Structure 1
């Protein structure tokens, strides 16, 4: 892939159906702002928009295009929480259960508020179900049901038996499911670009095709690109799995794992109803999950095969299609019109990484598959910290994250071995 190809979007369904294209200028000047955000994915754009709403002047510098990385390639599933809520609960301590419950849904609130306030057309729909791939997985779903009941969740939720799950998702492959209508699904690229447009409307300056070369630290740090720089009071590093800035502080903490999706041609009405009668986002309960949903124009978007080795499959369609057909054999004659992949930022303990270098360079990354919701939460927490409210920032910044020595390649091979164990356990359990 040459440099120009890298700076444009991958050939995904989302890129082909984006409501808007972006053509923000390259940074070719020296400017000043209250805050400079590095990265125009969900974390960076969410933080920039929050800061702009609070009156800060903000510049966003992006190496490629707005939503170029995982924010524009993911499964579009809006799921509550983080990948390790229990560790966060332990850190917050007794008496903070309600605070944590409210926090893990905060990303949903932010997204819904912005979709309404700014008129962002992103196909936001309610409904998500986690399905049990093994009978033994029902115990976890029962625990989730009890957790929701304990916290008196305001949206519909219910535990489904095998027949009810078959009726909900159109497949008899699963032993049960946990349905939550407070979760949902959306077109992630349209959401991210829509938020960027909203931020621009509030005065945020956005620069694309402007890779950051380094950050010059100081009382007012300076973010350098090849042709310009931004001097700011605070900097936010929001590149997640796609950046390599500040290696002394951040290398060996987040590992990029490949995840891959196929999109079918538009299905006819009867076929569409047969594969997803309730129009839900679906995720399996395996350690190596499959995830899927139907798009607003009636396509099956099926993803999975998370790959920690750093090597992409020779054919995404050949890798993913058999998994889809195991669940929905009636799709055997349907054409695959799009295939794409991207990198998920994985953290070993599954707790997002948040911190600060010196007094004024903040970072947030590593969402381990829960990015749509978690990025918006962390973007707001970073904005809070820049504004002087440190309570939630301190909870996350005080986590100790294990750093694998030997660089990213060594780390990915070790994680790949670990995930091979989980894949075997999925197969044998």
Structure 2
């Protein structure tokens, strides 16, 4: 029986998915596939935010960089996600303080804030068409969650000096989000949202202009660690002083040590038809929104007034036959006003999650690094992850090591049993969300 291939199971080889982002993007001419014998200082595996950021930063530092992408740059989660650029780490500071202590938790907070600033800066310089807009709302779908959210806002303001966030009561949230589904929450004006594919393509243009040799449709089939590291595709052999794994949810079984701690799951997004005046009745100030459900709903408006809505559980690696129906159901639960709205685009994507939802940074060998497992919080953190790997290659590994020291446990049951165990967990959390 052939092994399931996550790179090709749900998509056409070498083609972007039929997303709203792909429909409005200014396309890049395809990069050639890697062929023959290639030598370089650093070989980056993966052309998403992590790999592109790493390649760009290293090329700007004068290194000879080769980037290998199995499909197209920005093909994976980097070009398909909800576009939310969140502050902080994936775990809240309370949980991080318990996990790694207050001092390290504060250092991780600082890295996360730098990640947002870096993303804003790179988008402004290299992808202004990505259209960064400020503001992310956390919306509590249960009244009992609101006091905890407000306590956390107070903690961030008083203990971390983070004044860009404020608490929202039910009336304030209802004025910003035209739904009766929520009871309060918070508004973070340091966070924001952008077009993720436009951002990825902008990073790719900048990397190529800085001298990165980008190769598409160049799937890595084997890595032999050593000095140099030997990286094999179907048509090329790359010999590199350093190798950076940046594959995230589309890693598959290519690197077993990472696959044991980073698991792929699917999520789905729809884009409605342009909504005209209704759009600002649904989201008054053009903020992005993410709610408190474990099986999270996240949504925002496009520049042309569409609702971009992400949600819906997935209990297998194949996308459902009707993605639009899967994401429409939670959308209409939140916004009954959209019951008759036409869905113009519907797409799925695969992201990488970890057991504790913190990214998995690892030094696999002295000259082989990996960063992935952003768990739905990857636009900013993956961008920074690439920069931290670039620093480590240059001999300044302290900040990379800070991330690598955060524990990321193996999934129970290994790669064979993690999927059925996750199905059970997701079913339970989905039921809890409805109670």
Q: Comparing 125-134 with 307-316, which one deviates more in the overlay?
A: 307-316
- Asked if 1:77 is matched to 2:45, the reply is no
The corresponding residue for 1:398 is 405
- Asked if 1:332 is matched to 2:339, the reply is yes
TM-score by length of 1: 0.94
CA deviations 1:46-80 (Å, max 9, x no partner) are 11111122221211000000010100110111111
Q: Give the Cα–Cα distance (whole angstroms) in 1 for the partners of residues 225 and 308 of structure 2.
A: 43
Q: Give the Cα–Cα distance (whole angstroms) in 2 for the partners of residues 267 and 394 of structure 1.
A: 47
Structure 2 unaligned regions, length at least 5:
1-7
The corresponding residue for 1:142 is 150
The corresponding residue for 1:29 is 36
CA deviations 1:348-404 (Å, max 9, x no partner) are 111211112221111111011101011012111111111111222222323443323
Q: 1:289 aligns with which of 267, 290, 296?
A: 296
Q: 2:316 aligns with which of 297, 302, 309?
A: 309
CA deviations 1:320-346 (Å, max 9, x no partner) are 212212222222222101000011211
Q: Give the Cα–Cα distance (whole angstroms) in 2 for the partners of residues 174 and 160 of structure 1.
A: 11
Secondary structure in 2 aligned to 1:278?
A: coil
Are the equivalent residues in 2 in contact too, given 1:24–1:208 (CA < 8 A)? yes
Following superposition, the deviation at residue 20 of structure 1 comes to 2.5
Q: 2:381 aligns with which of 367, 371, 374?
A: 374
Are the equivalent residues in 1 in contact too, given 2:127–2:203 (CA < 8 A)? no
Following superposition, the deviation at residue 207 of structure 1 comes to 0.3
Q: 2:237 aligns with which of 229, 232, 257?
A: 229
Following superposition, the deviation at residue 298 of structure 1 comes to 1.0
Q: 1:122 aligns with which of 122, 126, 130?
A: 130
The corresponding residue for 1:209 is 217
The corresponding residue for 2:4 is none
Following superposition, the deviation at residue 117 of structure 1 comes to 2.9
- Asked if 1:362 is matched to 2:372, the reply is no
Q: Give the Cα–Cα distance (whole angstroms) in 2 for the partners of residues 231 and 286 of structure 1.
A: 46
The corresponding residue for 2:431 is 424
Secondary structure in 1 aligned to 2:12?
A: helix
Q: Give the Cα–Cα distance (whole angstroms) in 2 for the partners of residues 217 and 198 of structure 1.
A: 29
The corresponding residue for 2:328 is 321
Are the equivalent residues in 2 in contact too, given 1:158–1:180 (CA < 8 A)? yes
In the superposition, relative to structure 1, how do residues 34 and 10 fare at CA in structure 2: closer, same or farther (>3 Å)? same
The corresponding residue for 2:281 is 274
Q: Give the Cα–Cα distance (whole angstroms) in 2 for the partners of residues 174 and 49 of structure 1.
A: 41
- Asked if 1:170 is matched to 2:178, the reply is yes
Q: Comparing 44-53 with 115-124, which one deviates more in the overlay?
A: 115-124
Are the equivalent residues in 2 in contact too, given 1:81–1:374 (CA < 8 A)? no
Are the equivalent residues in 1 in contact too, given 2:100–2:406 (CA < 8 A)? no
Q: 2:113 aligns with which of 85, 93, 105?
A: 105
Q: How does 1:38-53 map to 2 (within 5 A)?
A: 38-53=45-60
Are the equivalent residues in 2 in contact too, given 1:304–1:320 (CA < 8 A)? yes
Q: Give the Cα–Cα distance (whole angstroms) in 1 for the partners of residues 425 and 337 of structure 2.
A: 34
CA deviations 1:288-307 (Å, max 9, x no partner) are 11000001111101111132
Number of positions where the alignment pairs a residue of Structure 1 with one of Structure 2? 426
Following superposition, the deviation at residue 427 of structure 1 comes to 1.5
The corresponding residue for 1:414 is 421
The corresponding residue for 2:246 is 238
Q: 2:162 aligns with which of 144, 148, 153?
A: 153
Task: Please provide the CA RMSD for this pair.
Answer: 2.0
Q: 1:179 aligns with which of 147, 166, 187?
A: 187
Secondary structure in 2 aligned to 1:121?
A: helix
Q: Comparing 126-135 with 404-413, which one deviates more in the overlay?
A: 404-413
Are the equivalent residues in 2 in contact too, given 1:78–1:108 (CA < 8 A)? yes
Q: Give the Cα–Cα distance (whole angstroms) in 1 for the partners of residues 136 and 176 of structure 2.
A: 10
Are the equivalent residues in 2 in contact too, given 1:71–1:372 (CA < 8 A)? yes
Q: Give the Cα–Cα distance (whole angstroms) in 2 for the partners of residues 245 and 419 of structure 1.
A: 23
Following superposition, the deviation at residue 246 of structure 1 comes to 4.9
Secondary structure in 2 aligned to 1:7?
A: coil
Are the equivalent residues in 1 in contact too, given 2:127–2:198 (CA < 8 A)? no
TM-score by length of 2: 0.93
Secondary structure in 1 aligned to 2:348?
A: strand
Q: 2:205 aligns with which of 181, 197, 200?
A: 197
Q: Give the Cα–Cα distance (whole angstroms) in 2 for the partners of residues 384 and 167 of structure 1.
A: 44
Are the equivalent residues in 1 in contact too, given 2:127–2:199 (CA < 8 A)? no
